[in-house]
Structure 1
């Protein structure tokens, strides 16, 4: 079989330079919802992703004539805020030896530590070939612009082979996810825990009723009635609460999602005495629920767990979803039925000395992560199989 004709690389400073129908024609389930054109454009046109915030869009596309055959959202970065793959020590090390670390080129979905496709390829194309071609184009572009390196954040495991063949070094991370082996009810899920842990979970699950709090999930027209201002209010309540909090997203971002992306959005609300006191904004893709932003205006024991973990689990069981990813961090999730799963990033530094140092660090870090997996699995509180 003859090899496809090499495609032409284009670099775009706004995703609106690519037609939505062309971009979305490349999507598959592994790319939905965060790689959808409407989501990425909402980030840009709301001002959440903008040069003044350290994000310079440089989206990469491959074309054969007028046909789009591959694409990746990509950004020049002035810093690493909002990436969730922490490379600040690498930047510091570069600075100490007189090397410039920024700008760097990042292929990612901003502010979204969720594993998924990072390169979209048109149906019928040789995926591995087009991925390699796009990485080669990214490398040539980076060299021509004096960019320090290329970083691919949260790619799918399927994409790692081409990344490694393209000379990227892989970094491992860990997130805690809930997987559904076929639960028919919440009781099926609770039945997996040993007695002591199951008793604790039941106590936490009873807390809202005992506190006079009701929970429910809003979708569709109910989200329109809720309004983006209310969603932003709860998002702001969390990011403003802590010294390290940052308002990475603007009010307009949530307004645009409700206007153009509402079919992917959900909101878990908690009410007490008729007033909304807490909420969690989530997104849903094919068979998967993604927890994103939570906030509250009243503090109650176990409220966060119920709004952000237990209620979404019940909803996922009821809807037959296969997975719930509640977001990055939080070892407290381990004892509540969330199991550790590897995440990935891939890095290619263009200065040989810095690249060697990063690869040596990653080799040691990978060993530590893999060693920790068995310990994290043991902390779930699940009964041993057959017990």
Structure 2
């Protein structure tokens, strides 16, 4: 017999129980990362993200987890539904709050519904969907959104009338390259020469770049990175970033083995920094900032250094973040991501279904055209 419970703090289940269930997931789904978001107040009061984690029990023993948030806006999700919210408003209806199965501020595909190995996902999903829909109705929410889910789960959710939606990210895949030079040799000569020219220009400008990870990271590195992070957000968005300094303090202290930091200096003065999160399967570029604008430095810190790190560490996939067609010419391949959506108002649910069908046609064409721009001499096993 299965039952569920919604909790408003990850501490109410505790690290040992959470990580015992989430043991084979990426670092973003681990207790340490999600707890850092909560305890640093990066989510919670004033953020628009309110914890509603769903815990699944079998005979009073926790056997499953769904990271879940009540949202009062759509920022920090990277699956865009602002047009849906505007349509609700035009009809005098309220779109917010809504319910979101997501890792805040983290557009990375990964586990959402995490279950112990002996639990059958196909048996659980109908129950979960039923409980989520009841929770939405009881708490005056508009809808349920599963973001950056794995394809198998997305297909199962679609069978429960949680509409499947596609998006495209640009990701790099390690095809057993022995070095960065070896990787470049798989590109067309024009693109290979362009990348070499970009990197050489930085050397000629006396720009030095280094990678730090694990115990090599220091508090001074963190302080400089956070300064870069804040200033870049302030310049682009008018605020100092979603994540607090305490959040970064905590992950630097407790997730060092999953962090890699790129630091750049010009004329021996630090100018830029980029923070990555990784495990033995995937590298994720998450946070970038610069105090001084240096031409092509973003490409070096956020793309080329990440590719080199994946090759050195034998990591198979590199997700540098959302958007950016300029990534294609550097070898990042258009890759489908998946989300699923259920709206309480039947008429709007059907309207979103029609919208997604039209969007899928346009997105498939976009991906086909993007594939044609890839710079590889020959691309196998795509």
For the Cα contact (< 8 Å) 1:56–1:77, is it kept in 2? Answer: yes
Find out whether 1:198 has 2:230 as its counterpart.
no
Q: Segments of 4+ in structure 1 off by > 6 A?
A: none
How far apart, in 1, do the equivalents of 2:313 and 2:21 lie? 27
For the Cα contact (< 8 Å) 1:79–1:103, is it kept in 2? Answer: yes
How far apart, in 2, do the equivalents of 1:371 and 1:286 lie? 33
Structure 2 counterpart of 1:132, from 126, 131, 134: 126
Deviation at 1:296, TM superposition (A): 1.2
Look up the match of 1:280.
Answer: 274
Which piece of structure 1 moves more, 78-87 or 230-239? 230-239
Look up the match of 2:41.
Answer: 47
Find out whether 1:382 has 2:376 as its counterpart.
yes
Partner SS, residue 22 of structure 2: coil
Look up the match of 1:75.
Answer: 69
Q: Deviations over 1:15-48 (max 9, x none)?
A: 111111111111254x211110110110111011
Find out whether 1:108 has 2:102 as its counterpart.
yes
For the Cα contact (< 8 Å) 1:70–1:131, is it kept in 2? Answer: no
* Alpha carbons of structure 1 residues 245 and 156: separation in structure 2 relative to 1, 3 Å: farther
Q: Quote the RMSD (CA, aligned, Å).
A: 1.5
Which piece of structure 1 moves more, 334-343 or 211-220? 211-220
Find out whether 1:172 has 2:145 as its counterpart.
no
Q: Deviations over 1:206-254 (max 9, x none)?
A: 1221111221111122213435322211111210111466611111110
Q: Deviations over 1:169-194 (max 9, x none)?
A: 01110000000111011122111211
Structure 2 counterpart of 1:365, from 341, 352, 359: 359
Q: Deviations over 1:307-334 (max 9, x none)?
A: 1101111111111110111001111101
* Alpha carbons of structure 1 residues 181 and 83: separation in structure 2 relative to 1, 3 Å: same
How far apart, in 2, do the equivalents of 1:140 and 1:17 lie? 22
* Alpha carbons of structure 1 residues 17 and 261: separation in structure 2 relative to 1, 3 Å: same
How far apart, in 2, do the equivalents of 1:347 and 1:90 lie? 11
For the Cα contact (< 8 Å) 2:214–2:258, is it kept in 1? Answer: no
Listed as ranges, the gaps of 5+ residues in structure 2 are: none
How far apart, in 2, do the equivalents of 1:91 and 1:272 lie? 45
How far apart, in 2, do the equivalents of 1:114 and 1:105 lie? 18
Look up the match of 1:158.
Answer: 152
Partner SS, residue 240 of structure 1: helix
For the Cα contact (< 8 Å) 1:216–1:269, is it kept in 2? Answer: yes
* Alpha carbons of structure 1 residues 347 and 385: separation in structure 2 relative to 1, 3 Å: closer
Which piece of structure 1 moves more, 88-97 or 184-193? 184-193
How far apart, in 1, do the equivalents of 2:128 and 2:310 lie? 36
Give the total of aligned pairs.
380
For the Cα contact (< 8 Å) 2:232–2:291, is it kept in 1? Answer: no
Look up the match of 1:241.
Answer: 235
Listed as ranges, the gaps of 5+ residues in structure 1 are: none
Scaled by the length of structure 1, what TM-score is found? 0.95
Look up the match of 1:12.
Answer: 7
Matches within 5 A, 1:113-124: 113-124=107-118
Which piece of structure 1 moves more, 257-266 or 359-368? 257-266
Look up the match of 1:144.
Answer: 138
Find out whether 1:331 has 2:301 as its counterpart.
no
How far apart, in 2, do the equivalents of 1:135 and 1:275 lie? 53
Which piece of structure 1 moves more, 336-345 or 209-218? 209-218
How far apart, in 1, do the equivalents of 2:219 and 2:350 lie? 54
How far apart, in 2, do the equivalents of 1:189 and 1:318 lie? 12
